[in-house]
Amino acid sequence: MSRLGNIGARLYRGEVGYDFVAKRKIWYGVSILITIVAIVGLAVRGLNMGIEFSGGAVFTTPKTTVSAAHAQEEAEKASGHDAIVQKLGNGGLRIQITDVGTEKSDQIREELAKDFKLSSQSINAELVGPSWGEQIANKAWLGLGIFMALVVVYLAIAFEWRMAVAALIALVHDLTITVGIYALVGFEVTPGTVIGLLTILGYSLYDTVVVFDGLKEASRGITKQTRWTYSEIANRSLNATLVRSINTTVVALLPVAGLLFIGGGFLGAGMLNDISLSLFVGLAAGAYSSIFIATPLVADLKERDPKMKALAKRVRAKRAAAAAKGGDALAEDEAHGAGEAAGVVGQRTQPASGDRGGRNRPSGGRR
């Protein structure tokens, strides 16, 4: 068995582990700090909404030697608006300009063809109205709301309401971080981004539900024992699935990283960037939240239950009694050890006197 497999087996059996739940205030602080940075980035920089949401025109050129910087300069000069230019894998350019109508689009295409020394027919122009983007945004919000509601209802039925609340907070945490990083990086928000955001919700829930399922089984009949508190059982369940969560996340991140850095970086595929960045950030944030946020939150909420408070009190009382008994036993062992030492000394002196008496008896016998 590999070294990682040995660690995983020892974590599962509870032989080793890290107390995530006991240090939950540290993780809460880190998450709050990251969330604040994401919200500030979102408020200051805002989201770079794609043309599908804001409306405008997209021009696609065939293979050309014109650089993206030069194309952006010419496109902004021709349109009077900001332009976004991407180099495509076939050597062509994708030029996106917002707030452009049909007549303006034809004029811009003619000027771009002249500047790039191409025929106007070789440049493909597509117009997108803002109303279509608004419909997509509304449907995305509707889908997100329905998804969240179904998640809460399912987890409340399958597990309990505290786990549903913790999972919902973890999902909001993941979405906020992902959207904030989009704002800080300046990536364009397109329908591909929306697809990626909706996709990561399922990935984010996966590890959380796995831990919750193990916790549900481990905490069955918890009030009938006095060995562990609920927080300790939650931490043991988390450690038991830790290696599995890490392996699943790494395996999922590798192909997404390939899409992001190879597909988007080298091939210049804009849609791959939109989807892969949201997936990459969302998967990482989901793995973090399932370990450091969701389970500690459940433990926090559960420990407020009067039954769990009473259990924690009994566990502490039993441990205090065991500690006191252990101290008394240690004192008895020390006293017993001292007595044995005294007996050994006595046994060593008695044979000496006996020997002397024995030597006298034979001498008396000879008399």
Q: Which residues pair with 48 in a beta bridge?
A: 188
- Mean pLDDT estimate for the chain: 78
Domains and CATH numbers, the chain: 3-49+132-304 (1.20.1640.10), 56-128 (3.30.70.3400)
pLDDT at 354 over 50: no
* Token output for 49: 């909404």
In this prediction, residue 26 has a pLDDT band, given cuts at 50, 70 and 90, of very high
pLDDT at 140 over 60: yes
In this prediction, residue 328 has a pLDDT band, given cuts at 50, 70 and 90, of low
Q: Which of 204, 195, 321 is nearest to 259 (CA)?
A: 195
Intra-chain end-to-end CA distance of the chain, in Å: 82
The residue assigned the tokens 């830790």 is 242
Cβ–Cβ under 8 Å, residues 229 and 315:
yes
Q: Among positive and negative, which fits the CA dihedral 254, 256, 260, 264?
A: positive
pLDDT given at position 19: 85
**Rounded CA gap, 313 and 349, in Å?**
54
Position 64: which residue type?
Answer: T
pLDDT at 16 over 50: yes
SS3 97: strand
Q: DSSP for 301-347, please give it.
A: HHTTSHHHHHHHHHHHHHHHHHHHHHHHHHHHHHHHHHHHHHHHHHH
**What is the rounded (10 degree) CA torsion for 234, 240, 243, 249?**
-50
Residues with Cβ within 8 Å of 243's Cβ and at least 6 positions away in sequence, in order, are 4, 7, 8, 11
Q: Which residues pair with 87 in a beta bridge?
A: 93
**What is the rounded (10 degree) CA torsion for 293, 298, 304, 310?**
-120
Q: DSSP for 12-69, please give it.
A: HHTSS---TTTTHHHHHHHHHHHHHHHHHHHHHT--EE-HHHH-EEEEE--S----HH
pLDDT at 331 over 80: no
Cβ–Cβ under 8 Å, residues 177 and 38:
yes
Q: Which of 265, 131, 134, 290 is nearest to 215 (CA)?
A: 290
- Provide the 8-state DSSP code for 70: H
pLDDT given at position 363: 42
Residue 298's Cβ-side half-sphere holds a number of Cα atoms within 13 Å equal to 35
- Provide the 8-state DSSP code for 159: T
pLDDT given at position 186: 78
* Token output for 61: 């050129």
Residues with Cβ within 8 Å of 194's Cβ and at least 6 positions away in sequence, in order, are 136, 140
- Provide the CA 178 distance to its chain's centre, in angstroms: 11
Among 14-23, 34-43, 74-83, 156-165, the range scoring the smallest mean pLDDT is: 14-23
pLDDT given at position 276: 79
In this prediction, residue 185 has a pLDDT band, given cuts at 50, 70 and 90, of confident
pLDDT at 137 over 60: yes
**Rounded CA gap, 78 and 89, in Å?**
25
